[in-house]
Amino acid sequence: MLEFDLAEIVEGSTKLLVPRDSLSEKTPPKEPAFFNPRARVSRDFSIIAYSAFLKNFKGPKIFLDSLAGIGARSIRVANEISSIEKVVANDVNAQALEIGKSIAKVNGVTNCEFSENEACRFLSLHSSRDGRGAIVDVDPFGSPSRYLDCAIRATFHGGLLSVTATDLTVLHGIFPEACKRKYYGTPVRTTYGNEIALRLVLGCMNLVAGRMDIMVAPLFVQHSMHYYKAYVKILVRTNTKNCMGYILHCDNCGNRKVVQEVEHICNICKSKAKLAGPLWIDNMQDKNFVDAMIPEEENLKVDKSCKMFLEKCQEEVGMPPAYFTLDEIGHRNRSAPPSLDKIIEKIQGIGLRATKTSMNPTGFKTDARIDEILSLV
């Protein structure tokens, strides 16, 4: 019998036993084990993504959760995805694992094993050909960068690696030197900082994988509150395409563009511009994968917001990096901006592309320049 004060909640179709204080405290306590109820939507997206991925995966369907905590994500995978064969939930906190074992028992889950180990050691033990995971998850406090080498090695060829980052003060440019140290790139503080953050995470994953002659192929990215999560396919081959570069941002006129070489002058107003990167400049979403997630979402018990998010992802695949927001356009024009649908319609009316974005509810992506957008509205 557990001695902890636990409460029972339900996520998806899984009953969870969680530390009672984590449901009422603003910052969930780390004792007896950390659980963040506000990360529920992030876990919902994981279930959708993993379920869609396993439909086409050929090989042992094993899920490795390197920083499982009480096993909320792990046990949901074991309980809600029928095609999964084995789940291994690892954490260094023995109390968290005891809670996890009780959750598995409550749900009648029998295909979930528990491991008490440091995350990198756990992943290293699963880096042999027969021990790798079809899906590997890394969900740390702060930056995932210290775990990337061993997580990539523990992922099967053609497998899925999902990585969470929560150190947003670093990724959003408050501590640029720390970002350069952890992610090998420099951020810029902008209205689309969440997209720059995700591109820095993907860029770091790409650089680490490249040292091992391994290629990462982004399938899906998602953010909710302070959880930024990237899902990439791991391929044991060299990436011959250069997917790294910079985003040039001009505070003076609002211009932003992708460059592969270092530039510092805005091509519109000739002011000195800021440079974010090096970071990932190619697609962050794979259309076929996002398309496959839609029917999975309909068959699973997940938050209703997931469907709207995925539909926006479908629209913006292939659009250039760096979105605009209605507030930004209104501020620069010193007037109330038109509605999101109207501004997209106006841009499309002159033969340019424009779509809503999953990155921001009032944001849109377009290949129109800032001066073209402002002249339209």
341, pLDDT greater than 70: yes
The dotted CATH code for 6-239 is: 3.40.50.150
User: Using CA atoms, how far apart are residues 3 and 373, in angstroms rounded to an integer?
Assistant: 61
Mean pLDDT (whole number) for 111-139 = 97
Beta strand residue intervals within the chain, DSSP E: 6-11, 14-19, 62-65, 86-91, 112-116, 133-138, 155-165, 215-224, 227-235, 244-249, 256-259, 274-280, 324-325, 354-356, 363-366
pLDDT of residue 374: 95
User: Using CA atoms, how far apart are residues 361 and 363, in angstroms rounded to an integer?
Assistant: 6
pLDDT of residue 303: 96
Buried b (16+ CB within 10 A) or exposed e, 76-103: bbbbbbeebeebbbbbebebbbbbbbbb
Could you report the per-residue pLDDT of 129-159, keeping only the tens digit for each?
889 999 999 999 999 999 999 999 999 999 9
pLDDT of residue 305: 96
Mean pLDDT (whole number) for 56-76 = 97
pLDDT of residue 53: 98
pLDDT of residue 226: 83
Mean pLDDT (whole number) for 33-48 = 96
* Per-chain mean pLDDT for the chain: 96
Could you report the per-residue pLDDT of 294-317, keeping only the tens digit for each?
999 999 999 999 999 999 999 999
Measuring CA to CA, which residue among 127, 280, 282 is closest to residue 206?
A: 280
pLDDT of residue 337: 83
Measuring CA to CA, which residue among 33, 8, 40, 11 is closest to residue 99?
A: 33
- Per-residue confidence band for 238, with pLDDT thresholds at 50, 70 and 90: confident
> In terms of pLDDT, which residue wins out, 152 or 4?
152
Could you report the per-residue pLDDT of 257-278, keeping only the tens digit for each?
999 999 999 999 999 999 999 9
Mean pLDDT (whole number) for 8-15 = 98
